[in-house]
Amino acid sequence: TNSYLVGEPATGYIAIDPGPADSQHLEKLWRAAGGDIRMIVCTHSHPDHSPGSQPLQALCVQSGRGAPPILGLASAPTARAHSQFTPERTLQNEELLTLTGQALEGEITHTLQVVHTPGHAANHLCLVLLEDGLLFSGDHILNGSTTVIDPPDGHMGDYLQSLDTLLAACVSQDVQFIFPAHGHVLGGSGAAAQGVITHLKAHRLKREAKIAAVMAAHPGGT
């Protein structure tokens, strides 16, 4: 699982997806932020994303920095037993998470916009870094594989609608790069990030069309 830090020494950091409760990984994340983590955000509740949030928070407390709030969306009743998660504060769709600080060149601001994207999980969210045109896509968009949709918490209709939501966000915020929770960065110059989403939706619909064609050709099939 890719964990991300948004911010810089002048503003402190927001940690995105601390991952599983892996002490070595969490200490590296904490050290990379200089111990100055202001918020911890989980894109969803799966066990490779959210369990590290409380141990990372505890590391911050031990260093005397205080307890950064754990943010996200609570797991739905449809979530499996190993994917239970309750944030300390529930994020709202389109909510802004802002870091500010002073540097020699003046005030610095980093703003993450929350985008609710159910589909892979009912409580999945993505984050757009407005100042830089970056999308942190969690497990909704991956590099190297297609996202697992595991009903009932996963829902293909919701997933496709969420792709449309992300495409609109990429257009309106001029997003150039997508940072997934697994795999390398996607996108590049021009509308490459938008092209990634358009291709992904077409791929899903092509799969669906194949299945629908077989069902139509064999109406008596099970």
- The Cα 156–Cα 149 span in angstroms is 6
152-167: per-residue pLDDT in tens? 999 999 999 999 999 9
- H helix or E strand, kind and range, residue 30: helix 23-32
Q: What token pair was written down for 133?
A: 């045109």
- The Cα 180–Cα 89 span in angstroms is 23
- The Cα 42–Cα 4 span in angstroms is 11
Mean pLDDT of 101-107: 87
pLDDT at position 136 over 70: yes
pLDDT at 190: 67
152: preceding bond cis by omega (within 30 degrees): yes
3-18: per-residue pLDDT in tens? 999 999 999 999 999 9
> Which residues lie below 8 Å from residue 12, measured CB to CB, with a gap of 6+?
33, 36, 37, 38, 99, 101
